[in-house]
Amino acid sequence: MKQPRVVAMEEGAEPVSATKTSLSRAFPSRILVVCLLFLFLGIGLSIIGMYSVRFSMIPQIAAKASSTVQPWFEDTTNTLENFIRPPSNLMHNMNDTELLWRASFVPQIKEYPFKRVPKIAFMFLTKGPLPLAPLWDRFFKGHEELYSIYVHALPSYTGGYPPSSVFYGRQIPSQIVEWGKMSMCEAERRLLANALLDISNERFILLSESCIPLYNFSIIYHYISGSKHSFMGSVDEPGRYGQQRYNRHMRPEITLSQWRKGSQWFEVNRKLAIDIIKDTTYYHKFKRFCRSACYVDEHYFPTMLTIQSPHLLANRTLTWTDWSRGGAHPATFGNADITESFFKRILEGQSCLYNGQPSTICYLFARKFAPSALDPLLGLAHKGDFWSYSQS
C-alpha cells in the first residue's frame, strides 16, 4: 500500500516544478503587472472604504452614543476615586432638605478600602469677613492634608479672599441667621452637612470670626484626634439661665433632668455630626418650645447629645471665653490687650480631664478678639511653635 503513494508523489513533483520554472521564465513582467494591479485596486478600495466610513458610519455611531450614554471622556462617575475625592466646588444648588439627606449617608462597612487620613473640619460661622484670616493662614500653613475649611457668612456678604488664603473658595451656600434663634442652629447644621460631604473629615469644630488658636496646628490636631470624647459643653445648670429656660411641653422626649446648657462653640466627631444633622425629633421640640429667653444654640445640641450619647461627651468646650466682666456679652480683646502675659494668664493654671486623665491643656481656642488684635497677634506668632509664649 505504501509503495504506490510514494511513487505517485514523486511523479507529481516533477511536472509542477517544471511548469513553475517555465512560467516564471516565460511571463515575469505580466505577473508583476497583475500584482501591481491588485495592489492599486486594494489601496483604492481601502481609501474609498475609509471615506465612506468617515462620512456615513461614524456620525451614526456618534449620534446613537450621545442619545443613550455619556461620552467616554466624561463617564468617570463610577470610580471609587471619584467618590472619595471631596467636591472641588463647595457651591451647590441643594436646598437644606436635600443637603441634610445627602450628608446623612453612612458606610455600613467600618473598614475603608483605601488609605483614609482623618481630617479636622474647621467650620467658621461668621456675619461677614474674617478679620483674623492672616493669622489662620499662618496657622494652617504646611498642614494641607489634615484639615478642611468651611465658612458660613450671611448671604448678603459678597466679599471674598485672595487665592493665596486658606479661606479662598471655602464659602458654603448660606442663609440668614438670627443670633440666638433656630436659624443659628440651622446654619450650624448646614456647616456640618457640607463638611460631611468630604468623607475624610472625622472631627468638626465650630469657630467664629473672633476666635483664635491657642496652640500650633500639630498640637491641636493631635489633641482633638486623640480624644475619646467630643468637646461639647454640657452642664445641668440651675436657675434663670439654665433649668428655668426649660419648657414642660418638651416632655416626654426631654425631661427637666435631661435639660443641658453649653457653649455654642463645639467640637464633635463624625458620628455625632451625623446624629445632629439627621435629628428631627428634638429639632421640632426646640423650634416650637425654646423661644425668646431660651437660646437654642446654648441648649439644643448639648441636651440632645446628652440624651443620646452621654458617654461620648467631654461636657466641656475647647473655646476659652472671658465672662468675668459680667453682663450678657463676654469680653472682647483688642490691640492693647495682646501681650505674652495675657496669654500666660489664659493658659496657666488650667486643669481638666483628657481621656480620663488630668491635663493642663484644656482650651485650644479663645474668643473674642477684635480686628485691632491682628497685628500684635501676628507679632507673637512664630513659625514652628506658632506662639512665642508656648515655647517656654
Ligand X SMILES: *[C@@H]1O[C@H](CO)[C@@H](O)[C@H](O)[C@H]1NC(C)=O
- Residues making contact with ligand X (CB under 6 A): 95-98, 216, 218-219, 229, 306, 310-311, 313-315, 384-385, 390-391
Q: Which helix (H) or strand (E) holds 205?
A: strand 201-208
Between the alpha carbon of residue 343 and those of residues 17, 50, 369, 376, 389, the distances in Å are: 108, 79, 13, 12, 7
Q: How far apart are CA 214 and CA 216, in angstroms?
A: 7
Beta strands in 239-356 (DSSP E): 267-269, 319-321, 352-354
Distances (CA, A) of 18 to 8, 22, 104, 229, 250: 16, 6, 88, 100, 113
**Minimum CB–partner distance for residue 315 and ligand X (Å):** 4
Tell me whether residue 139 or residue 208 sits nearer to ligand X (CB atom): 139
Q: Least CB distance from residue 392 to ligand X, whole Å?
A: 9
Nearer to ligand X, 124 or 386 (CB): 386
Nearer to ligand X, 11 or 98 (CB): 98
Q: Which is nearer to ligand X, 28 or 310 (CB)?
A: 310
- Quote helix, strand, coil % in the chain, to nearest 5: 45, 10, 40
Shortest distance (Å) from residue 385 CB to ligand X: 4
Q: Which three cell numbers stand for residue 375?
A: 497685628
Q: Which is nearer to ligand X, 96 or 137 (CB)?
A: 96
Shortest spacing between CB 183 and ligand X, in angstroms: 12
Compute the least distance from the CB of residue 147 to ligand X, in Å: 13
Minimal distance in Å, beta carbon 69 to ligand X?
27
* Rg (alpha carbons) of the chain, rounded to whole number: 36
Residue with Cβ nearer ligand X (70 or 95): 95
